[in-house]
């Protein structure tokens, strides 16, 4: 048997084969809604593009391989993928979620699914000990991000999954910040990996998409049924764009990590900077877990100013020229975000502050520009 492909080879080849009809090396964009049948019900596995589309199939097969899973399902957005996971639950079921969460996920849970009778409890989760006291007979799912957004907190995936497995509860990990280049939650015992492919995976800030990856056949059947029945599937052009982006994920992530590390260290030593949040810094809570479960520490860095002044933090964000002030992350270009008013504006201020997210926090997505230009930009903006 051939040896399993290494990660970089999988990015470029897993699930991807020259098109049998033409030999096209790159996956064609099958821009079609329907497929001819030779007799009613006799077809080549494709009936209607909400259910299946050949461009999406290739992307899904590639993602399943990258995450060490068996099945991947793509959705129109990351939130549509999360929405599909919630739909396997029933009224009365409880979800334990980490309190440091993407704002849109929090909004989906509290503003949509609470109304359907699903109960959510938000906790500071670092390991199984934080979860165990809150489990009840109704707990069906634990939902975490690691590193979290925007405080880059770390969840010990193996610790939490040992507990959820023992109790027969599902563990879902939003792997958007890490990507499979840095960690594979399924190999650490998670049941579901969720991605906003919009970010590092597609990597060029030109497409919005989400995915779920699982190993279990029954779980796959349930989620694939929802994917088709609820219908939030992406189009073939977008699947092509994500496939194209993925081919360079390893090269991009290496540079994202290298530059973010340098910027985190530089900020750490800057006299006007207060706290720096980066899992690669030794003082960072969870650094040791990050070092053991991740291959590197990622491209996201958050920080506050020493004087904690909101007007000054806003001035820094306004002055940045190479970093663009915008929502999102994970593209080739550097972005700067004000979580309190942008990505996390949908979380009430008191909830944000309870969780340690200050209104003065600045979040950076460190892109692939020259590191000297990035540091110079930060230097002139911070002053």
Ligand X SMILES: *Cc1c(COP(=O)(O)O)cnc(C)c1O
Catalytic residues, which ones? 50, 102, 174, 199
Which of 67, 83, 145, 156: binder of ligand X (CB under 6 A)?
145
**Locus of tokens 């999406």:** 56
Concatenated DSSP letters of 244-309: HHHTTHHHHHHHHHHHHHHHHHHHHT-TTEEEEE-TTSTTSTTHHHHHHH-SS--SEEEEEETT--
Please give the structure tokens belonging to residue 114.
């609470």
- Least gap, CB of 261 to ligand X (angstroms): 20
Number of H helices, E strands in the chain: 14, 12
Nearer of residues 101 and 368 to ligand X, judged by Cβ: 101
- Least gap, CB of 251 to ligand X (angstroms): 21
Please tell me whether residue 301 binds ligand X under the rule CB under 6 A: no
Asked if 316 and 308 touch (Cβ cutoff 8 Å), the reply is no
Please tell me whether residue 105 binds ligand X under the rule CB under 6 A: yes
Nearest to 202 by CA among 173, 228, 176, 236: 176
Find the farthest-apart pair of alpha carbons in the chain and give their distance in angstroms, rounded.
74
- Least gap, CB of 102 to ligand X (angstroms): 4
Give the nearest residue (CB) to ligand X. 78
Please tell me whether residue 108 binds ligand X under the rule CB under 6 A: no
Which of 15, 54, 69, 78: binder of ligand X (CB under 6 A)?
78
| Secondary structure (3-state) at 337 | strand
Nearer of residues 104 and 274 to ligand X, judged by Cβ: 104
Interface with ligand X in residues 38-77 (CB under 6 A): 77
Pick the piece of the chain touching ligand X (CB under 6 A) from 4-12, 191-199, 217-225, 349-357: 191-199
Backbone φ and ψ for 61, nearest 5 degrees, come out as: -65, -40
Please tell me whether residue 174 binds ligand X under the rule CB under 6 A: yes
Residues at the site binding ligand X, with contacts judged by CB under 6 A: 77-79, 102, 104-105, 145, 149, 174, 176-177, 196, 198-199, 208, 210
């Amino acid at each position: 048997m051939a040896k399993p492909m290494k990660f970089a080879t999988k990015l470029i080849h897993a699930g991807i084969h020259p098109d049998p009809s033409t030999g096209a090396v790159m996956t064609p964009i099958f821009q079609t809604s329907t497929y001819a049948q030779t007799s009613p019900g006799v077809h080549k596995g494709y009936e209607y593009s909400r259910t299946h589309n050949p461009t999406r199939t290739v992307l899904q097969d590639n993602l399943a391989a990258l995450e060490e899973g068996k099945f991947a399902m793509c959705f129109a957005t990351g939130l549509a993928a999360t929405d599909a996971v919630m739909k396997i639950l029933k009224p009365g079921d409880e979800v334990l979620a980490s309190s440091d969460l993407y704002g849109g996920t929090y909004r989906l849970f509290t503003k949509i699914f609470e109304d359907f009778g699903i109960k959510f409890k938000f906790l500071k989760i670092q390991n199984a000990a934080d979860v165990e006291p809150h489990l009840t007979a109704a707990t069906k799912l634990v939902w975490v991000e690691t590193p979290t957004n925007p405080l880059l907190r770390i969840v010990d995936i193996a610790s939490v999954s040992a507990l959820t497995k023992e109790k027969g509860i599902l563990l879902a990990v939003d792997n958007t910040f890490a990507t499979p280049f840095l960690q594979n939650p399924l190999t650490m015992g998670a049941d579901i990996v969720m991605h906003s492919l919009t970010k590092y995976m597609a990597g060029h800030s030109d497409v919005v998409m989400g995915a779920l990856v699982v190993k279990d056949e029954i779980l796959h059947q349930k989620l694939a049924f929802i994917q088709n029945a609820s219908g939030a599937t992406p189009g073939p052009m977008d699947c092509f764009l994500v496939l194209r982006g993925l081919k360079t994920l390893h090269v991009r992530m290496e540079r994202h990590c290298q530059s973010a590390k340098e910027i985190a260290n530089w900020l750490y030593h800057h006299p006007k900077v207060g706290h720096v949040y980066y899992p690669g810094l030794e003082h960072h809570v969870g650094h040791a877990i990050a070092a053991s479960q991740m291959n590197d520490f990622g491209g996201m860095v958050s920080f506050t100013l020493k004087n904690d002044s909101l007007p000054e933090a806003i001035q820094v964000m306004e002055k940045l020229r190479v970093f663009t002030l915008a929502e999102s992350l994970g593209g080739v270009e550097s972005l700067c975000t004000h979580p309190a008013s942008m990505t996390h504006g949908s979380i009430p201020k008191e909830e944000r502050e309870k969780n340690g997210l200050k209104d003065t926090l600045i979040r950076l997505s460190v892109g692939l520009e020259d590191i000297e230009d990035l540091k110079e930009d930060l230097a002139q903006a911070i002053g």
